[in-house]
Amino acid sequence: MSETVRSEELQRKYAAERDKRKAARGSKEEDYVRLEKVIDPDAQDPYKAVEPREPLNDDVEVTIIGAGWAGLMSAAELRKSHRKIRILDQAGDFGGVWYWNRYPGVMCDTASVVYMPLLDETGYKPTEKYAHGPEIFAHAQRIGRHFDLYKDAYFHTRVTDLRWDEAAKRWRITTNRGDEFTSQFVSLGLGALNVPRLPSFEGMKDFKGDWFHTARWDYSVTGGNPEGAPLDKLHDKTVAIIGTGATAIQIVPELAKTAKKLLVIQRTPTAVDVRDNGPITYDWWDELTQQEGWQQIIYDNFLDLVEEYKVGNFPPEGTVDLLDDGWTNIGISFMEKIRSIEGELTPEKIKAATIEWDDEMQQRIRDRTDEEIADKKTADGLKAWYRRWCKRPGFHDEYLETFNRDNVELVDTDGQGVGRITENGVEVLGEEYPVDVIIYSTGFHYNRNASKDAFFDIVGRNGVVLRDKWKDGMLSYMGYFSRDFPNLFFQQSVQAAFLTSNVSQNYAEGSRALRAVVDHTLDAGKTTFEASQKAEEEWVHMIETEGEVADDPECTPGYYNNEGKEIGLEQKRSIGYPKGKKAFFDLVKDWRSQDELAGIEIA
């Protein structure tokens, strides 16, 4: 293969699009506000009424904060050791993001058999290759029932303070429901991309029509329901949806079916590849699912094909792709490209092949817009001019063709975003677009630092506040523990596996680690576990010195590169285990199977 580099023309185009977007107003994290700051967090559940209950004033063994996948999987695992648990969540049921995100068309674009946890233990077979939201939410409820978790769950309960009591060797927990109880152990599963964010546009408060964020869909405005009933209140409405990320590409086809007029307001296009959804027809299903713990095989296969190549770990040639989907195809096509290099594998040849592979893939997806969309200007406007891993890949079968409808218009802001909101609508590049409804599909805070995700203070031994301790980034041991915060477990992936394409595998491994540390402590008749100072320092040092920050400043800004911000200490600490995800999982597995948990002081 010849040593190619990206053509200068393409390089210039990528740089120009990035620079436009970098100069856009409202493109920094500080330009967003958390939805909870705008809407009272205690009065915002449109799906379920808050049931009155007596405050809790007792003592429990393990409290799990957050009832999404992290909380559910932690609870299910701890059940196996018959621990006395309590689960708290501000939502009205299990499910986390799947409780809140009930927008029309909601689905998961990671394969169901990878994304939906505990399929093996609950015996559930998803109906679709990529399940829709209601089925995923129902699965969260199924896990709740299967492991008998409802009796220990307190919903519509928001923690307001979490404080270590050294004398009692307990965490003191207070909530918005008047609860004041103690808990020996606490596991935090607060999610990573679940705090809705709104841009702080000038004039937002002046808008006279209806508006909402996609994560709090208001069916009283649109009509319809999450199960797919038509949005029948939109027939005479002009609707603007702001944003074209993974959420919007699922919503746009649904809005287009009924809205009188739909304006899709775009700052940066998503590269939208084929989804090819349908019923599950895996030929391995009947045989493989006979094996106990079969889902781990699927997890590992996905990991091998989607993530491991990024750290140079190619699975053996001929490894069967059990999923055959968009994510695995990205990895497979990359590995094929590298394997096609003739002669010695030099870094130069690898770099050239990588560029060629990336350019071919992105061009194929850009060509897709021409194939799907009749109007050339619209097709051009939807083309993504950046590298494959600059922004989260999108997959959808109807999004692009929706732009062929007469009632749908792409409002391309040329990288600048919305100028301001007026009484009557949205202003873009100086032009006002009058609308009846504005839907903010503007995403979520992507926090790589659990101290910032929490709305409450976490106060450890000697009054150490987690937010202060982590002000320059996370200081942890294995991502799970932090010194001065005894008996506290972080169910999250930073400084751990950092597996973003399949969050469930992080929590599967994390749950086993949580159970191991709780079991070790209690089975030894002890009271506390805590990371040693030395273990934490060495872990953070290893992260800082051996890890590579993927926040590529050459990319167009987005949450994959921390909105293009300069790389500081916090970013250097906000990465995964340097040797890769599989190596991390192996390390944890080995760690928890030892008689003594290395790096942990049990007292």
Footprint on this chain of ligand NDP (rule: CB under 6 A): 21, 26, 107-110, 193, 199, 242-248, 267-268, 392, 417-418, 441-444, 558-559
Nearer of residues 475 and 555 to ligand NDP, judged by Cβ: 555
Nearer of residues 392 and 467 to ligand NDP, judged by Cβ: 392
Nearer of residues 108 and 322 to ligand NDP, judged by Cβ: 108
CA-nearest of 564, 601, 226 to 415 is 564
Q: Are 560 and 391 in contact (CB under 8 A)?
A: yes
Q: Read off the amino acid at residue 337.
A: K
Q: Are 144 and 94 in contact (CB under 8 A)?
A: yes
Exposure letters 7-29 (e unless 16+ CB within 10 A, then b) = eeeeeeebeebbebbeebebbee
* Pair of tokens at residue 139: 């699965």
Distances, alpha carbon 231 to alpha carbons 119, 585, 588, 593, in Å: 32, 44, 47, 53
Nearer of residues 144 and 243 to ligand NDP, judged by Cβ: 243
Least distance CB 448 / ligand NDP (angstroms) = 13
Antiparallel, parallel or unpaired: β 32-34 and 195-199: antiparallel
Least distance CB 324 / ligand NDP (angstroms) = 17
Antiparallel, parallel or unpaired: β 408-412 and 261-266: parallel
Q: What share of the chain is helix, strand, coil (3-state, %, to 5)?
A: 40, 15, 45
What are phi and psi for residue 445, nearest 5 degrees?
A: -65, 130
* DSSP code per residue over 246-287: HHHHHHHHHHHHH-SEEEEEESS---EE-----B---TTHHH
> What angle do the packed helices 294-306 and 503-523 form, to 10 degrees?
130
Distances, alpha carbon 41 to alpha carbons 36, 44, 158, 299, 415, in Å: 5, 6, 9, 35, 32
Least distance CB 556 / ligand NDP (angstroms) = 7
Nearer of residues 362 and 442 to ligand NDP, judged by Cβ: 442
CA-nearest of 95, 138, 111, 139 to 502 is 111
Least distance CB 227 / ligand NDP (angstroms) = 18
Least distance CB 268 / ligand NDP (angstroms) = 3
Nearer of residues 130 and 539 to ligand NDP, judged by Cβ: 130
Residues 247 and 97: their CA atoms lie apart, in Å, by: 12
Nearer of residues 109 and 509 to ligand NDP, judged by Cβ: 109
Nearer of residues 153 and 271 to ligand NDP, judged by Cβ: 271
What are phi and psi for residue 159, nearest 5 degrees?
A: -65, 135
Least distance CB 168 / ligand NDP (angstroms) = 39
Nearer of residues 170 and 275 to ligand NDP, judged by Cβ: 275
Nearer of residues 140 and 418 to ligand NDP, judged by Cβ: 418
Nearer of residues 106 and 162 to ligand NDP, judged by Cβ: 106
Least distance CB 213 / ligand NDP (angstroms) = 9
Residues 270 and 357: their CA atoms lie apart, in Å, by: 19
Count of CB atoms within 10 A of residue 229's CB? 11
Least distance CB 368 / ligand NDP (angstroms) = 18
Residues 206 and 149: their CA atoms lie apart, in Å, by: 45
Least distance CB 37 / ligand NDP (angstroms) = 16
Q: What is the CA radius of gyration of the chain?
A: 24
Residues 479 and 47: their CA atoms lie apart, in Å, by: 34
Q: Helices in 147-242 by DSSP H: which ranges?
A: 219-222
Nearer of residues 35 and 143 to ligand NDP, judged by Cβ: 35
Least distance CB 480 / ligand NDP (angstroms) = 22
**Maximum distance among all Cα pairs of the chain, rounded to whole angstroms:** 72
Least distance CB 72 / ligand NDP (angstroms) = 17
Least distance CB 496 / ligand NDP (angstroms) = 18
Count of CB atoms within 10 A of residue 336's CB? 11
Q: How far is CA 57 from the centre of its chain?
A: 34
Least distance CB 197 / ligand NDP (angstroms) = 8
Nearer of residues 130 and 584 to ligand NDP, judged by Cβ: 130
Nearer of residues 271 and 418 to ligand NDP, judged by Cβ: 418
Least distance CB 311 / ligand NDP (angstroms) = 21
Structure-token match 């409290």, residue found: 63
Least distance CB 511 / ligand NDP (angstroms) = 21
Residues 556 and 385: their CA atoms lie apart, in Å, by: 9
CA atoms within 13 A on the CB side of 523: 10
Nearer of residues 103 and 334 to ligand NDP, judged by Cβ: 103
Torsion sign across C-alpha atoms 366, 370, 374, 380: positive
